[in-house]
Chain A
Amino acid sequence: MTAPQVTEPLIEVEHLTMRFGGLVAIDDVSFTARSHSITAVIGPNGAGKTTVFNCITGFYKPTIGRLTLRGAGGEFLLERMRGHEIGQKARVARTFQNIRLFPGMTVLENLMVAQHNKLMRASGWSLLGLLGAASFQRAEAAAVELARLWLERIGLVADADRPAGELPYGAQRRLEIARAMCTEPVLLCLDEPAAGLNPRESAELNQLLVSIRDRDGIGVLLIEHDMSVVMNISDHIVVLDYGRKIAEGDPLAVRSDPAVIRAYLGTDEEAIDG
């Protein structure tokens, strides 16, 4: 694994708190994540991992807290942005714990929809597109090329024109990641991408995530239950339990942290061994 480069944090989560009525789903959590690195968020069921993602990607408005993203486009305070602007302007992309593809559309179409904002501009908000302008056709060809590149990386070129809903489960997971990557994000948030994969698919996924970190150089936030995945590929780990951050550090430090071992109650150290 490559050593994370010493740069400014890509995203800084400060004092994030999220309440649902009386329930405190996240309680004063702070952490940072960098570019060129994979930051894992782990914790038992109901610890608040998905809720953290929902706050970062604008699906929930945090009760308290500041979420600062410093990307290529400048500095963004995510908690103040409208849902879709976080993808469009701050360039944060995500996948969902339950796959959310566009099942009736083809694999290629899924990847084209991901490039919507870029193509909308190129199509002159549809006017140039309706007239069949050459500039739009070039932009569309480039978008197809990007899609093809990602289809090659996830091994789905041959399935490009099939409805996404017809793909096998593992392929759908990979496609959802490729679709997120087609938005050309600076931060990619993956919610349990390995869930339901067999060991071979899981190993392929590890390679894909490592290549996203090393080749594309973006920051990856990863929620994962499979400890072998977490210990193998993450550079930094944040551990949540009952909405609180109970530990943070590199894999070696986290796996021997007594608080972490206690949190995974009923499981001994063996269980979180890589």
Chain B
Amino acid sequence: MGPRLALMLKDAGLTAFVAAALGIFIVGFRTVDLGGGKGLGFDYHLVDLAVAVVVIFIGRLGLSMAANGLRWPAIVLGVAMIVAGASPMKLPSGFLHWFVALGGVLLVIRAIWPWANDAIGAVSRTPSGVALGKAGSKWFGWLLLAAAVLMPFSPFADQKTMDLGVLILTYVMLGWGLNIVVGLAGLLDLGYVAFYAVGAYAYALLSTQYGLGFWTVLPLAGMMAALFGIMLGFPVLRLRGDYLAIVTLGFGEIIRLVLLNWFDLTNGPAGIGSIPGPTLFGAVFAETPPPGKQTVSEMLGIAFNGNHRLIFLYYIILGLALITNLFTQRMRRLPVGRAWEALREDETACQALGINPTNTKLTAFAIGAMFAGFAGSFFAAKQRFISPESFVFIESAIILAIVVLGGMGSQIGVVLAAVLLIGLPEWFRDLGNYRMLAFGLAMVLIMVFKPRGLVSHREPSIRLHPAGSGGGG
């Protein structure tokens, strides 16, 4: 016990030291404009830093205790942190209270995790537990769907929530699209947002230059993005793993740079504005009809309400996302879908079985790109203004994070991860800059507790024995 504790203390001390060394410049002081031409001065936050370092020291100590089986001491430390955070003790900022208390909560969760895990494992192995799990995973998807369909009619469907719903569904759709490429075919695509951009600009240009409507352009935009996917994929899909990732990353940047610099076509960094929104049977969502058009409220004979447009957008993206999902589910059960998964598992073995790896990857790439194209033209129609700034690398990274954290290849996992990664930071907008901390925290937590993603269960695409019979695994 003695030497072990000494090691843990040393480790925690080292961690705290690193935190202090890094934090002194990031948190410790800040330059402020003194005003009145007095130049710049320093604003010290040393108490914040000290509290953070202490929390990190205790947290690290507790984590190594928990990892070494000393669960009770870890729980005591965690509870102490929660109490300290919740106490009326005077700290420089309210956030520090949260920081201390949340640290304690995490520590307690980590300490009791093995027990919880064992308990869950034991329950899920009993026959009724197995049945419950099966029914749960079967109904969970339907429940989510019902909730999504009914959401606009619920009492909390104010404008903020609906906006957020549209945003989350857009990422769910993008996640499901990228899931074909990354989750099923195993191709690491770091430039997925490029196809999203192609779809968005396709709609923006065709609608503003040629007056084409949303529903006409939607399939065209999908096809255009798929074409880009094939054009990029053909030369590069021979590459494996890291090389493919780098080339797709480069492609994403190239598309963005072209959009920025091809001024005549794309209007460069200024972007394209006054993009028409989607119409409902030819009627537009507006208070007063543009010349020669009818508004939806006139057509339906209801009073104008700004929310109607949002609800309409919500159902469009819900429909598009569901199409993406159903299509993918269906493809997974076809020979081509099985070949995608086989390629992910072992490309060499696929080649020995006479499967053309390049063509098979190309279909995955093109179909994934097509759905990004659909989502892109929806995005343009919703925003009514697009510029290259909407299609930066971080978007690709977020979509990829949704797929990976959701559990590669899992459809429900993508939904959960999108809600977590897009929804939480938006809900916590009040936290200001700290909301990115919530984002990072969610990612770290998932990777620590669920390294294979939120949903790691894989349903076979075909069975010899009916599900649940003795033959199943």
Contacts and interface: CB of A to CB of B under 8 A. Distances in A.
Interface string A71-89: 0000000000001111111
Given A88-B356, A113-B342, A129 B334 contact: yes
Contact of A120 (B335, B348, B351, B357): B335
Nearest to B363: A126
A126 B346 CA distance: 22
Contacts of A162: 472-473
Nearest to A166: B473
A126 to B, nearest CB: 5
B9 interface: no
A100 interface: yes
Contact of A105 (B342, B351, B354): B342
Interface stretch (A153-161, A231-239, A250-258): A153-161
A222 B432 CA distance: 67
B473 A108 contact: no
A135 interface: no
Given A88-B354, A114-B353, A166-B473, A123 B336 contact: yes
A234 to B, nearest CB: 22
Interface string A35-55: 000000000000000000000
Contacts of B470: 158
Nearest to A104: B345
Interface string B436-473: 00000000000000000000001011111100001111
B355 interface: yes
Nearest to B335: A119
Contact of A183 (B353, B458, B471): B353
B50 interface: no
Contacts of B473: 106, 159, 161-163, 166
A1 interface: no
Given A101-B349, A166-B473, A161 B464 contact: yes
A103 interface: yes
A129 B464 contact: no
A130 to B, nearest CB: 6
Contacts of B363: 126
A147 B462 CA distance: 12
Interface string A84-112: 11111101011010001111111011001
Interface string B234-264: 0000000000000000000000000000000
A113 B353 contact: yes
Contacts of B350: 84, 113
B334 A102 contact: no
B48 interface: no
A53 to B, nearest CB: 10
B335 A102 contact: no
A108 B355 contact: no
A179 interface: yes
A207 interface: no
A84 B355 contact: yes
B464 A183 contact: no
A100 B346 contact: yes
Contact of B334 (A93, A126, A157): A126
A19 interface: no
B346 A116 contact: no
B445 to A, nearest CB: 25
B336 A102 contact: no
Nearest to A113: B342
B38 interface: no
B160 interface: no
B178 to A, nearest CB: 19
B158 to A, nearest CB: 40
B384 interface: no
Most A-side CB within 10 Å, residue of B348, B363, B462: B462
Interface residues of A, number: 52
Interface in B323-370: 327, 330-331, 334-336, 338-339, 341-342, 345-346, 348-357, 363
A100 B345 CA distance: 9
B472 A161 contact: yes
Contact of A160 (B338, B356, B465): B465
A102 B346 CA distance: 6
Nearest to B333: A129
A144 B462 contact: yes
B464 A160 contact: yes
A166 B354 CA distance: 25
A148 interface: yes
A62 B356 CA distance: 21
Contacts of A101: 345-346, 349
A215 to B, nearest CB: 22
A115 B353 CA distance: 8
A87 B352 contact: yes
Contacts of B472: 161-162
Given A93-B353, A109-B338, A161-B472, A103 B345 contact: yes
B359 to A, nearest CB: 9
Most A-side CB within 10 Å, residue of B327, B334, B348, B463: B334
Contacts of A87: 351-355
Contact of A117 (B341, B354, B462): B354
Contacts of B348: 59, 96, 100
A109 B461 contact: yes
A166 B463 CA distance: 16
Contact of B345 (A83, A102, A112): A102
A101 B349 CA distance: 7
Given A108-B462, A166-B473, A116 B339 contact: yes
Contacts of A115: 335
Nearest to B360: A116
A123 B471 contact: no
A84 B356 contact: yes
Most B-side CB within 10 Å, residue of A91, A104, A159, A163: A104
Contact of B335 (A58, A96, A105, A116): A116
Interface in B361-394: 363
A17 interface: no
Contacts of A89: 354
20 contacts: A85-B354, A87-B353, A88-B356, A96-B349, A101-B345, A106-B463, A109-B338, A115-B335, A116-B339, A116-B354, A123-B335, A123-B336, A126-B331, A126-B334, A129-B336, A140-B462, A144-B462, A161-B472, A180-B352, A180-B353
Q: Which 8 A-B residue pairs are closest in the complex by CB-CB distance?
A: A87-B354, A88-B354, A162-B473, A160-B464, A102-B345, A119-B335, A100-B349, A129-B334
Given A123-B336, A160-B464, 12 more contacts: A84-B350, A96-B349, A100-B352, A105-B341, A108-B464, A119-B335, A126-B363, A130-B330, A144-B464, A148-B464, A161-B464, A161-B465
